[in-house]
Chains A and B, each alone.
Chain A
Amino acid sequence: MSGRAPRAGVVGAPITKVDGPAKCAGQTKFADDLVLPRMLFCKIHRAHVPHARIVNVDVSKALAMPGVIAVLTGRDLPIPFGILPVSQDEHALCPDKVRFVGDPVAAVAAVSEDAAFDAMNAIVVEYEPLDPVFSMHEAAEGRGHHLHDYGDDGNIHKKVALEFGDVARGFAEADEVFEDVLFYEGNTHLPMEQHAALAMPEPDGKVTIWSSTQTPHYLHRALAKVLEMPPSRIRVIACPNGGGFGGKSDPFNHEIVVAALALRTGRPVKICLTREEVFYCHRGRHPVLMALKTGVKKDGSITALHFRSYLDGGAYGSYGVASTYYTGALQTVTYPIANYRFEGARFFTNKPPCGPKRGHGTPQPRFALEVQLDKIAARLGMNPADLRLKHLVPPNSLTANYLKVGSMGLGPCIEKVVAGSGFREKHGRLPRGKGIGLACSSYICGAGLPIYWNAMPHTGVQLRLDRGGGVAVFCGEIDIGQGSDTVLAQFVAEVLGIDPLDIRLCVGDTDLTPVDLGSYSSRVTLMMGNAAIQAAERARELLAKAVAAKLEIPGERVGFGGGRVYDVEDPSGKSMTFAEAVVLAESRFGTIGTVGSYVPPPSAGRYRGAGVGPSPAYSYSAAVVEVDVDPDSGWIKVERVWIAHDVGRSINPVLVIGQVEGSVYMGLGEALMEEQVFRANRQGVHKIPSMLEYKSPTTMEMPDVVTYLVEDPDPNGPFGAKEVGQGPLLPVPPALANAVYDAVGVRVDEVPITPEKILKALDSPQKRYGPTRLPRVEWPETTRVPTPWEGGTGKALEPEKAAAPAAGPIGPGGVRS
């Protein structure tokens, strides 16, 4: 199945996206495009205070208004939910407490959107104020009432301390030790489509929900829990997402609310959030403050890294525990780190909850690490490209924290962008105001473990072959624009030798399709792809048997291609159409249907926290950014970006390039302008909950991008493919920061890098702008794990043994130095 030589055909071809023509004709039905007879409209009344106990919710006026059919409050939906089993801390409507401006309190269903809006405004909520907490520093100082009655320490939601090897020993062996503090501001997904959901009650007591969700399966589970209904009576249909980027990966309160209202009223109920509400849904990039202490030898090899991250999580858990671990997980998969220590803390604050945004928890640490490496290269007098090229994690190796690296194409990526951009000729040599910067990164191709523990497949694909030659493909995946529908069709078409147009997809429907965990963690191409290939190969076997008997040839001589099934030794003589082959197979075996599924390989780490980071494969990216910075105004113009991405193998190169370009765009937005920020002096209201003021790059800011695809096939990838949807975002912010330094000689250790910050850095004696202060956190007892090159097994030491680490200086790869 995996890693075998690709056949010539649709895999690797830049075919038209299967959903492209409908999207360009305006025919694709997004959730808010759906309309049902007798449909009601829902509006949600939201908290206008950041932190308060709910004393009373008076819905009497709203209920009495014309056209209002039902009103729900927190009492109607008392069961909590949340995406992670350890953070079941949200309610569809807040029953007793609100935790940020925008928290949902009551919901109205009315015959028109206007009537629902007016009724929503007629709801009166009486609050008893609680002290809010708006920053990690305040939370660490113990200020503000506790948001939740769970968590590791007051308003500290989660604390983590892990050590692989012995960083003290690593620092002792280092020639130089570097310490930096950096900050990555929070930002939001800003999908063009506002979240929408439509629920339809069925006469037999069941309910169907259409939603713009990236994770229909998790929504299905949350609905069953909160509505107290068997999952078999609930059907979730994910509509094509008008952009997701992680922002539609949580089960949301409004999805549960419309389902409850539909069941209550017996009528379909739809909600479409306003743009302002989308900013409150959030689940976007965590603001992360980071402290790095890095020991290096004169040749640039890293003897120890001590990485601390502080995440401002907002009001709820969301994916936050996973996000926290992710800020410490992937530092090790690019350059060998002999000894590694990670401490992370996530704080509850009275702001919309943060969660997974493209790159989930890893762009922040990657920014910090790659900016610090640039500083290290400067101090050691090395070219930043050489520093990286000389110290690449070898393929097929284990990192200090037990991540299994398979194919590793970072070297060729660096060489492509360095050569293409003229980096060696330009770096340090451009006139003042002009600069060039380099950074690299890596990302997972699907999380090795599911969100809730189970031993079942992460994805399943089912095929049904029609006598007319058509193939119906069923899979729980949902296309959020990344092209997953297209690669699904390509995999099946490739194996069966047919045209993708002969395939009918049925996706993202919990009643009809096998579970796929969802469009997150860059998992779909790899996991769904392997399942699709397995299902298609099983169908091909049946067809081959039937055809071999008919043509009187051995089964292994049956070939598939060009819509025909033939004898590979006599393709023009002994051959038939694919439809004829299906007829033969169906005549012999009955209805032709097959299934395939995929479970990731077991991970090597067996310590607590080892669940975050393992992946069947890792993608790699390198980017060079060239900038023009005006030292008088601080204005930054990005001239051009060169980016190379190791995608393993391109299933559809034109779509891969589209993902790379989109990632560069989003990375530039985060690096230059995007920020989700709040007014602490105004009850924590969002500063800029609109698309005009939340600045994102337009065509006028977007530079040209030169994209190189590097193909280093991974044995775990379908036809060798790895991810591309998220990874290429990661190198962009640090490459930009490094380019700004090259241009004007100042370090802005914080994104977004704005003209004001550049001017402040130019005016400062240290020629730097960035954070200096860290919240005080009592770290928990460290989980100590001997590295593979210390003879570790992936297990943590027992606490008493942890005090005495193995003796002797040892380097990564098992080499004693």
Chain B
Amino acid sequence: MRRRASRPPAEEPRTIPLRLRVNGEPVEVMAPPHHTLLEVLREEMGLTGTKHGCELGECGTCTVLLDGRPVLSCLVLPRACQGKPIVTVEGLQRGAEPDPLQRAFAELGAAQCGYCTPGILCAARDLLDRRPDPTRDEIREALSGNLCRCTGYIKIYEAVELAARRRTDPQARPSDETLYGRRS
């Protein structure tokens, strides 16, 4: 996936040790110092749930949570993340229990091809942590850095809204229009 000639600067060692906290667990890996968080997560840790679409910070696909806030992992050097918690899509669920966002996204088909989904879930999780009951416009704003080519974003909005409603009403159901379309 790499888009650039990628070589450590002459004065740098080939690899450096990195002490990171990923999905609640301490991880120590060796990696070239110039490899991005995206590369280290996928290639050194096998956390391939985080995807890539451009490696230039344009598409939002590689979004993860750093210190609770969404960052583009293709633009972050892991050395700068030491001491801060990192959460990837693999870390969103609690034990065997999916996050309400993950459940709602699956239920409404908000993940079609599913490739932008991990990044969008991370961005949406940040939104709901800050704004438990967001408006449609707040959702638009929060996800405006994440491209999706499949859904037209609408099922994604509806899934975020459903997950938000379930925080107070675990039995909340999607509307008939969401599931079946408008009748008249």
Contact = CB atoms under 8 A, between A and B. Distances in A.
Contacts of A60: none
Interface string A681-720: 0000000001110001011101011111100000000000
Contacts of A481: 112-115, 150
B80 interface: no
Given A16-B106, A654-B108, A702 B178 contact: no
A665 B114 contact: no
Nearest to A193: B115
A243 to B, nearest CB: 5
A23 B111 contact: yes
Of residues A480, A665, A706, which shows the largest number of chain B Cβ atoms within 10 Å of its Cβ? A665
9 contacts: A20-B107, A276-B3, A654-B155, A666-B149, A691-B54, A691-B58, A699-B143, A699-B157, A700-B144
B144 A702 contact: no
Q: Which 3 pairs across A and B sit closest by C-beta, in order of nearness? A: A26-B49, A23-B114, A481-B113
Of residues B47, B148, B155, which shows the largest number of chain A Cβ atoms within 10 Å of its Cβ? B148
Nearest to A656: B181
Given A192-B147, A691-B59, A661 B155 contact: yes
Interface string B136-150: 000111011111111
Contacts of A30: 51, 115
B89 A26 contact: yes
Contacts of A430: none
Given A20-B107, A243-B115, A691-B54, A709 B150 contact: no
Contacts of A240: 113-114
A417 to B, nearest CB: 10
A510 B177 CA distance: 40
Contacts, number: 220
B84 to A, nearest CB: 20
Nearest to B61: A192
Interface string A263-292: 000000000101110000000000000000
Contact of B2 (A22, A113, A657): A113
A27 B102 CA distance: 12
Given A14-B180, A30-B115, A653-B179, A243 B58 contact: no
B4 A661 contact: no
A284 B141 CA distance: 30
B140 A699 contact: yes
Interface in B4-23: 4-7
Nearest to B49: A26
A20 B149 contact: no
B109 A17 contact: yes
Contact of B5 (A121, A662, A696, A705): A121
A29 interface: yes
A191 interface: yes
B6 A113 contact: yes
Of residues A191, A194, A196, A700, which shows the largest number of chain B Cβ atoms within 10 Å of its Cβ? A194
B111 A24 contact: yes
Contact of B182 (A191, A242, A420, A662): A420
Nearest to B3: A274
B143 A661 contact: no
A735 B103 CA distance: 36
- Tell me if B's interface is mostly helix, strand, loop or mixed: loop
A661 B177 CA distance: 13
B33 interface: no
B113 A114 contact: no
A35 interface: yes
Interface residues of A, number: 75
A21 B102 contact: yes
Given A192-B59, A705-B152, A708-B182, A26 B111 contact: no
B51 A275 contact: no
Contacts of A193: 51, 53, 113, 115
B111 to A, nearest CB: 4
Interface stretch (B65-73, B116-124, B164-172): B116-124
A17 B111 CA distance: 9
A194 B51 CA distance: 10
A27 B93 CA distance: 12
Given A243-B113, A708-B181, A691 B53 contact: yes
A708 B178 CA distance: 11
Interface in A215-265: 240-245
Contact of A25 (B49, B56, B149): B49
Contact of B53 (A16, A33, A35, A192): A192
A656 B182 CA distance: 13
Contact of A20 (B54, B106, B141): B106
B55 interface: yes
Interface of A: 14, 16-17, 19-30, 32-33, 35, 113-114, 117-118, 121, 189-194, 196, 240-245, 272, 274-276, 416, 419-420, 480-483, 650, 653-658, 660-666, 690-692, 696, 698-700, 702, 704-709
Given A193-B53, A481-B112, A657-B181, A29 B106 contact: no
Given A24-B114, A243-B115, A655 B109 contact: yes
A606 to B, nearest CB: 39
A702 B154 contact: yes
B5 A118 contact: yes
A421 B15 CA distance: 61
B3 to A, nearest CB: 4
A272 B53 CA distance: 11
A118 B178 CA distance: 50
A117 B114 contact: no
A656 B112 CA distance: 11
Contacts of B32: 114
A707 B46 CA distance: 40
Nearest to B101: A24
A666 B184 CA distance: 25
Contact of A35 (B7, B46, B98, B115): B46
B117 A23 contact: yes
Nearest to B34: A114
A26 B112 contact: no
Nearest to A667: B152
B50 interface: yes
B91 to A, nearest CB: 9
Given A25-B93, A113-B6, A275-B53, 15 more contacts: A16-B107, A20-B107, A24-B105, A26-B47, A28-B114, A29-B48, A191-B113, A192-B147, A420-B184, A483-B109, A657-B179, A662-B149, A664-B152, A665-B153, A707-B181
Contacts of A32: 1, 48, 52
Contacts of A662: 112, 149-152
B90 interface: yes
B36 interface: no
A114 B153 CA distance: 36
A482 B148 CA distance: 14
A192 B112 contact: no
Nearest to A707: B181
Contact of A192 (B5, B149, B157): B149
A190 B150 CA distance: 10
Of residues B93, B147, B157, which shows the largest number of chain A Cβ atoms within 10 Å of its Cβ? B147
Of residues B1, B56, B118, B183, which shows the largest number of chain A Cβ atoms within 10 Å of its Cβ? B1
Nearest to A419: B184
Contact of A705 (B51, B145, B154): B154
Nearest to A29: B48
A468 to B, nearest CB: 23
B175 to A, nearest CB: 11
A232 to B, nearest CB: 31
Nearest to B2: A113
Contact of A272 (B1, B61, B145, B157): B1
Contacts of B102: 21, 24-25
Given A20-B111, A24-B114, A191 B149 contact: yes
A702 B5 contact: no
Nearest to B102: A24
B140 A700 contact: yes
A275 B55 contact: yes
A799 to B, nearest CB: 47
